[in-house]
Structures are given as C-alpha cells and as structure tokens.
Structure 1
Amino acid sequence: MKPVRMKNLNKILFIIVFCFFQYGQAQDSLKISAQEFISAVKNYHPLALKYQLQNKIAGSEITKARGNFDPVLAAKLGEKNIDGTQYYQQKNIELGIPTWYGIDLTASYNDLNGQKLNSSDTKGGLYQMGITIPLAKNLLYDKRRALLDQAKFALKMTEAEQAVLTNDLLLDAENTYWEWVQSFEIYRLQSKAVEINKARLNLTQKTFEYGERAAIDTVEALSQLQSFELQQQEAYLNFVKNTQQLQVFLWKDHQELYEISQLIYPSDGLSNHAAYSDFEFLLQELQHKTTDNHLSVLYYLEKNNVLESERKLKWQSFLPKLDFTYNFFNKENYRADYLPLFDNNFQYGLKLEIPVFQREARASYQMAKFKILQNQLDTKLKKRELDTKMETYKNELVNYHLQINLSQNNLANYQKLLMAEETKYSNGESSLFLINSRENKVIDAQEKFISIRTKFLKSFNKLKWMKENFSL
C-alpha cells in the first residue's frame, strides 16, 4: 500500500500546484506594475500637481518683481468752477520710467488755464522732462532691485524644494507598492499551504479508513490545516489593507480619487526586480556624490542668496538719503534753440535726510546678519543629515543583500529537511507531527525571505530617490 499511497500523494500535490497556478492566472485581469503605478502618482496625485503649481507661483513672483520697473502712464483731467468763475481747467499726461540703477525718468505735458491760478503755476501748455538721481542711499542697491533678485533666488529655492518633496512622494508611493507586493506574496504562500494541507488531511483520512494510520493523525492534520487557514485569512486581510493604502496614491484626471471596485493585483514580483543587479552600480555612483550638490542643500544656498540680498538692502539704510531732481520745461508753441540746464526753463531740487541715531538701520542690519548665520547653521545640519542618511541606506542595502543570500540558503535547507521527513513518513519512520513541524519552519523561512527582499528593495529605493535629488 505504501507505493500506492505515495503515488496518490504525488498526484494530489500535482493537482494542487496546477490549480494554484490557474488561480494565479485568473487574477491577471486587473494588474498594475510598479512603473505604471509611479507614473500615475507623478501625473495625477494632487501633491505632485501642487508642487508643480508652486513652481509656477514662484515664476509669477519674478514677473511681479519686474513690474516695479514697468513704465507708468498717467493722465489727469480736472476743472474747478464756482459762481460762473473758472478757477482752473487742467489737462495732464505723464510717463514715468524707472530704471535698474534707481534713476527715475519722467516726461509730461500739462495744459492749465483759469482765472484763479496760483502764482507758481504756468498758464497754457507746458512740456516737461525730468530725472531723479539718488546720490547716496539706493544708488548701488534699492528695494526694486532687491525684490527682483530675491524672486529669482526664491524660484531656484522653490524648484529645489518641490523636486525633493516630489521625490519623497514617489519614494513613499514606490515603497507602499512593494509592501503591497509583499502582502500579496505572503497571501499566495499561505493559500498554497492551505491547499497542500487540505490534500494532506484528505489523504490522512483515507489512510485512517484503510487502517494504516491512527485516528490522532487526522486530528494532527486538521489542526495544521486550521492553523494555516487562520494565517491565510490574516494574510488576506493584510493584503486588503495594503490595497487600500495603495489606493491613497491612485488618482484620476481632474483630481478625482480612483475608486477600486474590486481587488487589483501586482504584475511585478519581489524576485524579478532590477535592483538585485543594479544596486552595486548605484553604490558606485553615489560614492562620488557630495551632498553639496543635493537639492536640499541647494535650497539653503539659494536661501542664503536671498538673505544676502536683504542684508545689502538693509546696509543702504546707513547711507544718507540724498536725491537730486532736475526738470526741464518748454512752453507750448515755443521752440528752444538749445537745451540749457541751469540757464532758463528749469527746476531742480536736492533733498537730504539723515537719521540721527540710526537705531532702525543698525537693528535691521544686525537681524539680517543673524538670519544669515542661522541659515549657515541649517545648511551644515542638513549636510550632516544627508551624509548620515546616505551611509545608513548604503549599509542597509549591502546588509540586506547578504541577508537575502543567507535566508535563501536557510530556506533551501529547511525544504530539504521537509522533503527528507516526508520520505521517512512514507516509509513509516516518521510522524505527521514532525512533518508539520518541518513545514512550519519552511513557511516561516519563506515569509522571512519575502520580508528581507522587501526591505532590500525599500533601501534600494531610498538610495535611488536620493540620487535623483542631486543636481547635475
């Protein structure tokens, strides 16, 4: 009966494996790969779109700052009349042109008539061309130039920051995907164990009916099956939970949440990832990278440029405000043969302002310098943090790769022990209890193997996305 029993057992196990393969194939209708998943996150996730919009906002700030240099065209029309007396009637049009060096140019035409004009007003049409020049404060640097410089630096800051945040989002999404794959493979593992133990229970019951096994063997087989069924249900629940976590990253066009109406399955497995062959190249590539070029550090470097611009602007407050204004006039229908500066038809002014104690200037300048020192400390801290992270991820990656090899060899040994125990059992030299014990060890080793592979891929992803954060 023993050869017959072994033959029947082999047939049953073959049928189980075949059915399980068919079960896996039946799930191919709804599958998603890691690349498809990451592409969907990058193109449709609200945070990814928000980061893109933030860059556009920073670009608009530059346009806004350039607006301080836009020419301004102004016009004025007015009249005053009381009891039939026309005090004045005025028409005015003016063009103001601010320049990069703080010099303001003006050109205007003013037509003024009336019976009650001020003695300083010029009756009739009057053309005017003027210039205002700062001779001390605001000559080398002023608020308009500072705002434009700061907007340019802020754009580079924003681009660096949003790139880092986007990569963090994609890292989180990709690791969530592989955790999902892990839960699916553990669920398949437990399902396979359930099917095998169902067949074993059926075979044990038949051998008991033939009088070849004791009744306690059926209890042993049933207990093992129930144990695996509990683990299968727990694995299924964990897979469903991870599927729901995956759904958080899935969005459709127009920022509509992608509703999963039925379970989806991964088309990528933990065993066929390119990381197993590419991780050494990644380690070599990062070996020559310095954190000075990391986008997180560039963010602080550009921020330092913003603060330096603010410091330069605050330094201008120490200078006296000395502005020279000159206007040349030409009456309508009057043609001048030359352009006298201080001979005829002119107006000039010289305005001086000097804060006596310079308290506001000194305080503002000191605050600007302290902010620069704070940013320098933040930069050093960020570089230290990045160096530590990179070394940690490298060590993790190498260590998990070694663990994979050890775990794989350990699993192979447990499988050999299980096969040997099954052979001894078929020869009547072992017990079902020992087979179950060996099988539990194999399942635990398989789960451990799956878990280590997942940890390896997650460490690989951390390094990979860190590499993406280095500027070219």
Structure 2
Amino acid sequence: MKRLNKIIFTLLLLFFQCSFAQDSLKISVQEFISVVKNYHPLALKYRLQNKMAEAEITKARGSFDPVLGAKLGEKNIDGTKYYEQKNVELGIPTWYGIEVTGSYNYLDGEKLNSSDTKGGLYQMGITVPLAKNLLYDKRRAVLDQAKFAQKMTEAEQAVLTNDLLLEAENTYWEWVQYYEIYKLKSKIVDINKDRLQLTKKTFEYGERPAIDTVEAVSQLQSFELQQRDAYLNFVKSTQQLQVFLWKDGQELFEISQLFYPSDQLSDHAAYSDFEFLLQEFKNMETNSHLSILYYNQKNNILESERKLKWQSFLPKLDFTYNFFNKENYRADYLPLFDNNFQYGLKLEIPVFQREARASYQMAKIKINQNQLDTQMKKRELDTKIETYKNELMNYHSQIDLSENNLTNYQRLLYAEETKYSNGESSLFLINSRENKVIDAQEKFISIKTKFLKSFNKLKWMKENFSL
C-alpha cells in the first residue's frame, strides 16, 4: 500500500509539472466550502445523526401507542371440552399514566373455574395511579429525554460541522499560501535567468569578471532548488486539499487535471471585515453558544431522570375499575358499584427506600457534574474567543510591519542594482539584497495566511452561536 501511494504521488507530481502551463481548473473558497458541506462524509454523517435523534422521538412516542391483542384457545381431553376461549382486547395508554382498556371475551367449557363467566362478556376498564407515576412516569420521561436529546444532538452536530468547515477553509488558504510561494519562486527563477544571460554578455564584453557568472549561476541554482521545493509543497498541499473533496455518492474526487486556487491571500474580505467581527463578539454571550446549549439540554435530560427517580419515594397505589356486560344483555352502567363491576386497589411500599435514595442521590450528583462541565466549557470558550481575537489583532499589526519591511528591502535591492549598473557594487551584494527581499516576501505571505486562519477561527466560532 505504501509503495502504491508513492507511485501515485510520483505520477501526480509529474502530472502537475507537465500541466502547470496548460489550461487548468480553478476553484474558489466558496465553491470548495460548498462541496465540503454537501458531499463530505463527515458532514453527511452529522446530518444522519440528527435524523437518528428524530427517530428516537418517534420511538419514544411508541410507548403511548394503543395495543390491540387477541387470544384463541381450546382444551379437549378424551372427548371432554375443558374450555374454549376467544378474546379480543384494546389497551390505550394516556399521558398521565392512566390506562384505558376494552375487551370482548367468549368462554365455554365443562371444566371452568368457578370465577369464570360463560358466554360472551364485554369489558371496559380504567387503571389510575394515585401516587407513584401519576405526575411523572418512565414513558413520559423517555419521551421528554428524546426531545431534549434531539436538541442536544443538533447543537453537537452543528459544532462538529462548523469545525469541519473551519479545518477545510484553513486547509484551502494554506494551499493558496503554497501556491503563491511557488509563483514567487518561479518569478525569481525567471529574473535570475535573465540576470545570468546579462552577466554572461557583460563578461564577454569584458565589463565584468568571470567570477560574476559563477555568482549568477550559483544564485540561479539556489532559487531553482527553492522553486522545486516550493512546487513539491504545493503538490502536497493539493493532496491534503483533495481529502476534503468528494462527489455525489460519497466518491472521492480524483484529480484528472491540474486545479489551483482562484482566490488570492490579498483579496480576502477579512482585511476590512475583521473589525466588524470583533465588534460582534462584544455583544455575544457565551451562554448562547451551541456547546453550552448542548450541556443545557443534557441538564434537562438529567433533571428528567431526577424527577423520575423521585417517583420511587412514593408508594405505588393503583386503582383499577372494570365494567362488565354480558352478551345480549341490556347495558346498565350506573351506579358504578351496584352491579356488573370489578375493582381493585393495589398498594406497594418499599420499607427502607434504599434503592430509591441511592438512585435519587446519583441523579443529583450527575446534575452537579454536568454543571461543573458547563462552567469549564464556558471558561474554555471565553479563553478561545479572547485568544482568537488577540491573534487576529496581532497578525493584522504584523501585516503592516511586514509590508513596510518588504518595501524597505525592495528599496535597498533597487539601490544596489543602481549602484551595480554604475560599477559601484557587486553581484554578490545584489544577491544578498535579493535573498533578503525573498525572505521578506515569504514572511509577508506567511503572516497573511496566519491572519486569515485566525479570522476563520473567530468567524466559525460565531457560527456556533446559532443553529
């Protein structure tokens, strides 16, 4: 596998070298981010996670679905029909723990229990919890927790998606950086090629010593090596960019032709918009960040669990009432406790309440732990925001310093070239000045990239304050 990767990389490098001067595909940062958002497997995975949370709500609502049941049976031994039974029933759970039931039973046979009723019998009943599970029960808790979990998942997946897009956008601008450095090196190589030809001619005319041609060749060779190294870095960064490029159907985007950025570092709107971005963060509260919303929804889930555990302290007191009516008999509903009825009252009280006390205590501890996690997350977010703001302002000031430094080195180079043309300097000094200019230009490109990356960190942090 490693050998195959090396072969692919070598072919890709050769392909880039052969194709660079030809028509090529350009991609902007907006197009790139759009591709990542719509086709990257992680972005799709995060959206599927949200759909899964929606399915969990549907699953929880299933606990309130009516249940229809039927039973058919018969027992016969040595010609004696012990019993024949037919039963159809419907159970309807309600929100407040009350269950309503209705059924039709037909029973016949020679070996029935004395409490059984022959023939057809209609039944309507209701079960009401009078203490435990009246105000809150497991079915309501599961549904509430599923709703909170959906909001929790949406917040989490939004943060993860924004982190993916931040990584993708910064990878793009690193790619632009390497591309601009490669263009810089290529330009310098062309300049030094022309300088070498001029030096050779001046040597032939006897105006310059032979050592100047050696100096010019050495400088050219040095820049050619730097050009190839810059080109290699550009190809590597293109491969890193390709990791984020996917097609519809989750197919990896394969490079079939050379592509390069259509955006430049100097054209980014961040240079004028960064102050507005900083101003926006003055009015943003950390409590509205999606990461905090995640912990708030988690706290709601834990509170739901605490309410459910509190129910364990209550005695289980259930009242059940059933009304009966035999088939082909006139229904007589009232009074309820006069005829054709059955009722029951069931009481359960744990004596020591040890399980209830332990479960309730654990639920409260989990809430306290989540509160501590929330405070830590707020602190982490505040620190990140301040760090990104400081980085942004610092790199912006460095851009001005770096640009002024570059301008001064360019002036020194121009002055040295003027002195050289007047016979007052040497090619060695020109090359030395030129090296300083190249270093300053690379530094300028690097600082602009760092500025844009810091701007993106703060920009995508802002996206985490709203769904």
Q: Tell me the TM-score normalized by structure 2.
A: 0.95
In the alignment, the residues of structure 2 paired with residue 338 and residue 149 of structure 1 have an alpha-carbon distance, to the nearest angstrom, of: 38
| Contact 1:28–1:265 under 8 Å retained in 2 | no
Q: Which residue is 1:11 aligned to?
A: none
Q: Which amino acid aligns with 1:143?
A: K
| Contact 2:24–2:258 under 8 Å retained in 1 | no
| Contact 1:200–1:221 under 8 Å retained in 2 | yes
- Per-residue deviation at 1:337? 3.9
Q: Which residue is 2:428 aligned to?
A: 433
Deviations 1:164-203 (A, max 9, x none): 0000000000000000000000000011111111111111
* Bigger mean CA offset, 199-208 vs 446-455: 199-208
| Contact 2:202–2:208 under 8 Å retained in 1 | yes
Deviations 1:91-112 (A, max 9, x none): 1110100000000000000011
2:178 is aligned with 1:183 = yes
| Contact 1:27–1:265 under 8 Å retained in 2 | no
Within a 5 Å distance, the mapping from 1:35-54 to structure 2 comes to 35-54=30-49
Q: Which amino acid aligns with 2:325?
A: N
2:402 is aligned with 1:402 = no
2:281 is aligned with 1:286 = yes
In the alignment, the residues of structure 2 paired with residue 25 and residue 179 of structure 1 have an alpha-carbon distance, to the nearest angstrom, of: 19
Within a 5 Å distance, the mapping from 1:98-247 to structure 2 comes to 98-247=93-242
In the alignment, the residues of structure 2 paired with residue 91 and residue 338 of structure 1 have an alpha-carbon distance, to the nearest angstrom, of: 24
RMSD over aligned Cα atoms: 1.3
| Contact 1:397–1:456 under 8 Å retained in 2 | yes
SS in 2 for 1:87: strand
2:286 is aligned with 1:310 = no
Q: Which residue is 1:455 aligned to?
A: 450
In the alignment, the residues of structure 1 paired with residue 176 and residue 109 of structure 2 have an alpha-carbon distance, to the nearest angstrom, of: 88
2:354 paired residue among 359, 382, 385: 359
In the alignment, the residues of structure 1 paired with residue 404 and residue 365 of structure 2 have an alpha-carbon distance, to the nearest angstrom, of: 59
2:72 is aligned with 1:80 = no
SS in 2 for 1:76: strand
Q: Which amino acid aligns with 1:389?
A: K
In the alignment, the residues of structure 1 paired with residue 143 and residue 77 of structure 2 have an alpha-carbon distance, to the nearest angstrom, of: 49
Deviations 1:393-435 (A, max 9, x none): 1111111111111111111111111111111111111000000
In the alignment, the residues of structure 2 paired with residue 98 and residue 464 of structure 1 have an alpha-carbon distance, to the nearest angstrom, of: 49
Deviations 1:106-141 (A, max 9, x none): 000001111111111110000001111111110110
* Bigger mean CA offset, 257-266 vs 41-50: 257-266
| Contact 2:148–2:297 under 8 Å retained in 1 | yes
2:264 paired residue among 264, 269, 276: 269
* Bigger mean CA offset, 371-380 vs 76-85: 76-85
SS in 2 for 1:139: coil
2:460 is aligned with 1:469 = no
In the alignment, the residues of structure 2 paired with residue 27 and residue 439 of structure 1 have an alpha-carbon distance, to the nearest angstrom, of: 30
SS in 2 for 1:140: coil
Q: Which amino acid aligns with 2:394?
A: N
Q: Which residue is 1:19 aligned to?
A: none
- Per-residue deviation at 1:24? 11
Q: Which residue is 2:87 aligned to?
A: 92
| Contact 2:97–2:133 under 8 Å retained in 1 | yes
- Per-residue deviation at 1:28? 5.1
| Contact 2:166–2:456 under 8 Å retained in 1 | yes
SS in 1 for 2:372: helix
Q: Which amino acid aligns with 2:427?
A: L
2:17 is aligned with 1:29 = no
In the alignment, the residues of structure 1 paired with residue 356 and residue 258 of structure 2 have an alpha-carbon distance, to the nearest angstrom, of: 66
- Per-residue deviation at 1:439? 0.4
* Bigger mean CA offset, 357-366 vs 165-174: 357-366
| Contact 2:90–2:101 under 8 Å retained in 1 | yes
Q: Which amino acid aligns with 1:288?
A: N
- Per-residue deviation at 1:88? 1.1
| Contact 2:19–2:258 under 8 Å retained in 1 | no
Q: Which amino acid aligns with 2:414?
A: M
- Per-residue deviation at 1:262? 3.4
In the alignment, the residues of structure 1 paired with residue 38 and residue 383 of structure 2 have an alpha-carbon distance, to the nearest angstrom, of: 31
Q: Which residue is 1:16 aligned to?
A: none
| Contact 2:409–2:437 under 8 Å retained in 1 | yes
Q: Which residue is 1:249 aligned to?
A: 244
Q: Which amino acid aligns with 1:372?
A: I
| Contact 1:179–1:454 under 8 Å retained in 2 | yes
In the alignment, the residues of structure 2 paired with residue 338 and residue 440 of structure 1 have an alpha-carbon distance, to the nearest angstrom, of: 104
Q: Which amino acid aligns with 1:382?
A: K
- Per-residue deviation at 1:76? 1.0
Q: Which residue is 1:3 aligned to?
A: none
Runs of 4+ displaced beyond 6 Å? none
SS in 1 for 2:249: helix
Q: Which amino acid aligns with 1:427?
A: N
Q: Which amino acid aligns with 1:433?
A: F
Q: Which residue is 2:329 aligned to?
A: 334
2:437 is aligned with 1:442 = yes
SS in 1 for 2:382: helix
Q: Which residue is 2:406 aligned to?
A: 411
Deviations 1:304-323 (A, max 9, x none): 00000000000101111111
Q: Which amino acid aligns with 2:189?
A: V
Q: Which amino acid aligns with 1:321?
A: K
In the alignment, the residues of structure 1 paired with residue 220 and residue 332 of structure 2 have an alpha-carbon distance, to the nearest angstrom, of: 113
Q: Which amino acid aligns with 2:221?
A: Q
In the alignment, the residues of structure 2 paired with residue 338 and residue 374 of structure 1 have an alpha-carbon distance, to the nearest angstrom, of: 55
SS in 2 for 1:287: coil
Q: How many residues align?
A: 450
Q: Tell me the TM-score normalized by structure 1.
A: 0.94
Q: Which residue is 2:253 aligned to?
A: 258
- Per-residue deviation at 1:379? 0.3
| Contact 2:189–2:220 under 8 Å retained in 1 | yes
